[in-house]
């Protein structure tokens, strides 16, 4: 985890100040502090969780600088405000001798613990209004300050201060009032929260054994593991001891105890459980002269499903069983997965079923070793193979009209060939043939010749087709070069309702902590949304309905002046994105009765219409080199992803399936294009396509994924998923082909966005009641607030990009 220091200042009763430097997390280096009064400086070398204090004048300023593994320089600064204002110049007017406050404040504090790790302090003002705030600190048992702040209460009001952690105690104190010192003992709360363990649940049965003169007692544990052994005794009819021992059983385990003799009865008992007792009347047992017809048991085992289940059927082919048989079923590793007792009448049978992922299960009983049977679950018939599912993509490969069509089988093996035909724009057949692919296989068909438009049609059930446009495939010369790399400003641009309408704000730091700053970038009473930051963080463009229809406006990242109107139409211009040159802005407009894609030069105001199809073209996204952009279009009665050459106007279709492919996003390294696929049932999953090979990888399979956003370097991606009925943030690392669950909160976590270094993710969460912006490490862990205002804060953007989540989808 990257390092982070925290800097606070506290006022003392003598109007001096105490400065507190704390290492919140991780490793820092080259740390130094400078104090203005008295002038001094020194190193800051703290392990995580440690802190140092430095005394200073009441109005002194302290500055702390340090480096982390991700940031080359971090600066913190805070100034004390502990000096009281000077009193007025004395006059000759006589003053009353009693100047005490008529009704001074009278504060009291009470502390309590809850949940085993949370302490709450309630401070109440039982006197008059406070004329000045009291500062307070909360320290753990080691003396480390875990919380601090000010209290200023009117008469009769109270405030609750809550802290959480693993400390044995927490102490509240105030330099303004020593009587407020209160200690909460957390050990008493932790003991009260200790859950009561689930008890064992024992039962015992007794019966005559197969051998004359023997009695068997079977003890079964139907509950949790025994926490301590039970001692037992077996007494004959005269009360004499016939056997004794101990029992200590795990869950579902059993123990058989056998005694022999000539007593007319035997009784099992234990001093640990008076209810665990039973008596066997041996006079009812069969005698040696007439043992009767014996029981004759058989067992058959077989796998019950391909997922590892097994079923055992035990049948009594003889007389009634006079003695119950205990049994166990173990998996391939010898672990007991089921235990119980069998007692069958003549001709009866019982079926025993277990489920799991073991390769085999074994049934056995200590009463008859011949009944041991193994069920091999690997012998179960596999499920039928899935049907074939073909997809096709077409792309131009030369400026002379050459094209390649790549056909991929995303389903099971094809049991019969499909025919294909490639036609030109007039419908004439250029090439045809048959194709038969196994699961996962692909085939590339190449066509050469001076063709403008080529269409591939397959004879499968969906009639899959792909189209390649051959107009001018020569590498274009860029008219506008991409912007030079710039330093990423670590600030958060987000949407908020703080002004009772939707605005675009900027946040520096963490709200509520020293040094944080907030800027209103949009500054209007209308609906302002969907910001996009320029790559060099010089400007922010957003959409607003302040003039009736939706137009585009831009302002500097500090919001220092009024926003400048960029588009001037009677239509709706939405979803803007800055190009890599930090001046070209691409967006969608419905000025022609449908949505087309336009670009505008921020400096000159020159507009260019990029698409003009009768269908809708939306959600444009620039390639890192500004030469191309991807977008989605419904020109084939469903949404597909297209790529447009910004210089020549050549369009190519990248996806072609009955499903909807939406929200395409180009990776910052230019290698991959991510998009969401929504099938006919509404299930949505994340896919990525290699720009050069057109190879497609399916990233998620839960049917609940949306809002995908690339990391700064383009080798990881974050998204939200409602799998299991709970909306959380996830990330995927293409380097390790591994998914991480970033949040695990019962409420709603959505809209991820990466920070400048690709270390943390900011997201919208309702865990505070009203939505706020929180942050967490990209592989998961504790989440912390970035905004704390009671108004709704959501849809954030932590670095220059066009994150889908930052525009409110």
Name beta bridge partners: 481. Answer: none
The chain-wide mean pLDDT, for the chain, equals 84
Whole-prediction pTM: 0.45
Shared domain check, 123 and 180: yes
User: Would you call 338 helix, strand, or coil by DSSP?
Assistant: strand
pLDDT tens for 24-40 read 877 778 889 999 999 99
Does residue 134 register a pLDDT over 50?
A: yes
Q: Is residue 580 part of a domain?
A: no
User: Can you give the pLDDT at residue 474?
Assistant: 32
Shared domain check, 72 and 112: no
**Looking at residue 418, which CATH number applies to its domain?**
2.60.40.10
CA distances from residue 377 to 118, 305, 354, 366 in whole angstroms, order as listed? 49, 7, 11, 24
Q: Is residue 152 part of a domain?
A: yes
Query: Average pLDDT, stretch 737-751?
Result: 95
Residue 332 or 803, more confident? 332
Shared domain check, 240 and 313: no
Long-range CB contacts for residues 284-291, cutoff 8 Å, separation at least 24: 284/208, 285/208, 285/212, 285/215, 285/322, 286/208, 286/212, 286/322, 287/212, 288/212, 291/212
Shared domain check, 275 and 211: yes
Following CA atoms 141, 146, 150, 153 in sequence, which dihedral angle do they give, to the nearest 10 degrees? -60
Shared domain check, 345 and 412: no
Distance CA 732, CA 710 (A): 10
SS3 for 188-244, per residue?
A: HHHHHHCCCCCCCCEEEEEEECCCCCEEEEEEEECCCCCCCCEEEEEEECCCCEEEE
Query: Average pLDDT, stretch 88-98?
Result: 45
Distance CA 754, CA 713 (A): 11
Shared domain check, 412 and 352: no
353-357, 528-532, 553-557, 730-734: which range is least confident on average?
A: 353-357
Which of residues 79, 98, 128 is at a domain's end? Answer: 79
Residue 650 or 262, more confident? 650
Shared domain check, 206 and 189: no
Identify the domain containing residue 152 by its residue range. Answer: 107-193
User: Can you give the pLDDT at residue 603?
Assistant: 93
Shared domain check, 189 and 207: no
Return the structure tokens found at 394.
Answer: 């077409």
Distance CA 506, CA 528 (A): 13
pLDDT tens for 242-271 read 899 999 998 888 899 999 888 888 999 998
Does residue 338 register a pLDDT over 50?
A: yes
Q: What are the φ/ψ torsions at residue 187 (nearest 5 degrees)?
A: -65, -35
Which of residues 311, 345, 379 is at a domain's end? Answer: 379
User: Can you give the pLDDT at residue 541?
Assistant: 94
User: Can you give the pLDDT at residue 804?
Assistant: 65
- Give the pLDDT band (50/70/90) at residue 80: confident
User: Can you give the pLDDT at residue 645?
Assistant: 95
Residue 406 or 150, more confident? 150
> Taking the CA atoms of the chain, what radius of gyration do you get in angstroms?
38
Query: Average pLDDT, stretch 738-745?
Result: 96
Name beta bridge partners: 710. Answer: 717
Distance CA 84, CA 202 (A): 74
What DSSP string runs through 374-410?
A: EEEGGGSPPPPPPPP-EEEEEEE-STTS-EEEEEEE-
Closest C-alpha to 339, from 331, 349, 329, 350: 329
Q: Is residue 778 part of a domain?
A: no
Shared domain check, 8 and 53: yes
Return the structure tokens found at 188.
Answer: 């008493």
- Give the pLDDT band (50/70/90) at residue 690: very high
Question: Which secondary structure element, helix H or strand E, spans residue 186, and what is its range?
Answer: helix 186-193
Query: Average pLDDT, stretch 784-789?
Result: 93
Does residue 726 register a pLDDT over 70?
A: yes
Q: Is residue 426 part of a domain?
A: yes
Number of domains in the chain: 5
Distance CA 471, CA 709 (A): 32
Distance CA 521, CA 554 (A): 9
Q: Is residue 166 part of a domain?
A: yes
Query: What percent of the chain has a predicted confidence (pLDDT) above 90?
Result: 45
Distance CA 478, CA 347 (A): 88
Which of residues 416, 444, 469 is at a domain's end? Answer: 469
Does residue 207 register a pLDDT over 80?
A: yes
Shared domain check, 330 and 280: no
- Give the pLDDT band (50/70/90) at residue 477: very low
Query: Average pLDDT, stretch 191-197?
Result: 50
Question: Which secondary structure element, helix H or strand E, spans residue 187, and what is its range?
Answer: helix 186-193
Residue 404 or 783, more confident? 783
Pair 615, 594: CB distance under 8 Å: yes
Shared domain check, 246 and 214: yes
Give the burial string for 193-221 (b: 16+ CB within 10 Å, else e).
eeeeeeebebebbbbbbbeeebbbbbbbb
**Looking at residue 336, which CATH number applies to its domain?**
2.60.40
Shared domain check, 302 and 264: no
Closest C-alpha to 367, from 250, 280, 254: 254
Does 38 sit behind a cis peptide bond, omega within 30 degrees of 0 on the bond before it?
A: yes
User: Can you give the pLDDT at residue 700?
Assistant: 96
Does residue 400 register a pLDDT over 60?
A: no
User: Would you call 355 helix, strand, or coil by DSSP?
Assistant: coil
- Give the pLDDT band (50/70/90) at residue 806: low
441-445, 455-459, 629-633: which range is least confident on average?
A: 455-459
What DSSP string runs through 1-66?
A: -B-EEEEEEEE-TTS-EEEEEEEEESB-EEEEEEEETTEEEEEE---TT-EEEEEE-TT-EEEEEE
Q: Is residue 437 part of a domain?
A: yes
User: Can you give the pLDDT at residue 283?
Assistant: 81
Name beta bridge partners: 376. Answer: 360
Query: Average pLDDT, stretch 644-664?
Result: 94
Residue 287 or 378, more confident? 378
138-152, 158-172, 456-470, 701-715: which range is least confident on average?
A: 456-470
- Give the pLDDT band (50/70/90) at residue 463: low
Does residue 710 register a pLDDT over 90?
A: yes
- Give the pLDDT band (50/70/90) at residue 771: very high
Does residue 401 register a pLDDT over 50?
A: yes
- Give the pLDDT band (50/70/90) at residue 96: very low
CA distances from residue 572 to 546, 551, 797 in whole angstroms, order as listed? 12, 6, 23
CA distances from residue 732 to 410, 714, 764 in whole angstroms, order as listed? 22, 11, 19
Which ranges of 77-185 does DSSP label H, i.e. alpha helix? none
Q: Is residue 92 part of a domain?
A: no
Q: Is residue 564 part of a domain?
A: no
């Amino acid at each position: 985890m990257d390092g982070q220091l925290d800097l606070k200042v506290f006022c003392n009763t003598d109007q001096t100040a105490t400065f507190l430097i704390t290492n919140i997390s991780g490793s820092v280096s080259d740390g130094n502090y400078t104090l203005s009064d008295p002038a001094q400086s020194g190193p800051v070398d703290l392990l995580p969780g440690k802190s140092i204090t430095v005394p200073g004048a009441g109005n002194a300023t302290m500055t702390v600088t340090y480096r982390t593994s991700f940031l080359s320089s971090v600066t913190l600064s805070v100034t004390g405000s502990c000096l009281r204002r000077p009193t007025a110049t004395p006059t000759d007017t006589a003053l009353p001798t009693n100047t005490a406050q008529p009704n001074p404040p009278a504060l009291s504090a009470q502390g309590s613990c809850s949940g085993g790790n949370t302490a709450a302090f309630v401070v109440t003002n039982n006197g008059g209004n406070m004329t000045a705030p009291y500062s307070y600190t909360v320290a753990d048992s080691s003396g480390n300050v875990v919380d601090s702040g000010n209290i200023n209460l009117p008469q009769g009001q109270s405030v609750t201060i809550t802290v959480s952690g693993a400390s044995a105690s927490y102490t509240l104190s105030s330099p303004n009032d020593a009587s407020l010192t209160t200690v909460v003992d957390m050990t008493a709360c932790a003991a009260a929260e200790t859950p009561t363990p689930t008890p064992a649940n024992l039962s015992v049965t007794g019966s005559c054994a197969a051998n004359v003169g023997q009695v068997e007692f079977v003890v079964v544990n139907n509950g949790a593991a025994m926490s301590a052994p039970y001692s037992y005794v077996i007494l004959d009819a005269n009360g004499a001891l016939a056997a004794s021992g101990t029992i200590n059983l795990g869950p579902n385990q059993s123990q058989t105890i056998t005694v022999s003799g000539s007593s007319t009865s035997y009784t099992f008992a234990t001093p640990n459980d008076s209810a665990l007792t039973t008596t066997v009347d041996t006079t009812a047992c069969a005698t040696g002269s007439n043992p009767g017809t014996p029981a004759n048991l058989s067992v058959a085992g077989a796998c019950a499903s391909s997922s590892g289940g097994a079923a055992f059927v035990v049948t009594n082919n003889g007389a009634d069983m006079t003695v119950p048989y205990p049994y166990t079923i173990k998996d391939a590793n010898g672990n007991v997965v089921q235990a119980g007792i069998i007692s069958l009448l003549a001709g009866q049978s019982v079926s025993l079923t277990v489920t799991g992922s073991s390769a085999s299960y074994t049934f056995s009983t200590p009463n008859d070793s011949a009944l041991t049977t193994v069920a091999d679950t690997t012998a179960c018939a596999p499920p039928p193979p899935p049907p074939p599912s073909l997809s096709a993509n077409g792309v131009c490969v030369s400026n002379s009209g050459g094209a390649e069509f790549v056909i991929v089988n995303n389903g099971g093996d094809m049991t019969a060939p499909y025919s294909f035909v490639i036609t030109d724009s007039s419908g004439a057949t250029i090439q045809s043939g048959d194709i038969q692919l196994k699961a996962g296989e692909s085939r590339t068909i190449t066509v050469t010749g001076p063709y403008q438009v080529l269409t591939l049609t397959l004879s499968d059930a969906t009639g899959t087709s792909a189209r390649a446009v051959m107009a001018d495939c020569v590498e274009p010369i860029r008219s506008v070069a991409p912007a030079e790399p710039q330093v990423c400003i670590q600030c958060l641009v987000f949407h908020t309702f703080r002004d009772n309408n939707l605005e675009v704000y900027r946040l520096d730091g963490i709200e509520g902590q020293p040094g944080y700053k907030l800027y209103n970038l949009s500054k209007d009473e209308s609906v302002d949304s969907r910001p996009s930051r320029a790559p060099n963080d010089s400007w922010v463009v957003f959409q607003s309905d302040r003039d009736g229809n939706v137009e585009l406006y831009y302002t500097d990242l500090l919001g220092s002046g009024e926003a400048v109107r960029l588009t001037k139409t009677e239509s709706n211009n939405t979803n803007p994105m800055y190009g890599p040159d930090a001046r070209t802005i691409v967006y969608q407009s419905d000025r022609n009765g449908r949505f087309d894609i336009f670009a505008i030069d921020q400096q000159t105001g020159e507009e260019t219409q990029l698409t003009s199809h009768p269908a809708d073209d939306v959600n444009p996204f620039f390639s890192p080199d500004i030469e191309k952009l991807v977008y989605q279009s419904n020109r084939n009665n469903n949404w597909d992803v297209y790529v447009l050459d910004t210089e020549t106007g050549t369009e190519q279709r990248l996806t072609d399936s009955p499903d909807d492919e939406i929200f395409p996003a180009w990776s910052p390294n230019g290698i991959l294009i991510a998009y969401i696929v929504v099938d006919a049932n509404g299930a949505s999953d994340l896919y990525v396509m290699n720009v050069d090979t057109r190879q497609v990888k399916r990233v998620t399979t839960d049917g609940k994924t949306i809002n995908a956003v690339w990391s700064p370097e383009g080798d990881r991606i974050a998204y939200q998923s409602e799998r299991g009925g709970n909306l959380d943030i996830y990330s995927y690392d293409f380097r390790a082909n591994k998914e991480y669950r970033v949040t695990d909160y019962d409420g709603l976590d959505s809209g991820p966005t990466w920070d400048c270094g690709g270390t943390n993710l900011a997201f919208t969460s309702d865990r505070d009641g009203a939505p706020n912006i929180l942050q967490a490490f990209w592989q998961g862990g504790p989440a912390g607030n970035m905004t704390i205002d009671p108004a709704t804060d959501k849809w954030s953007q932590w670095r220059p990009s066009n994150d889908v989540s930052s525009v409110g989808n």
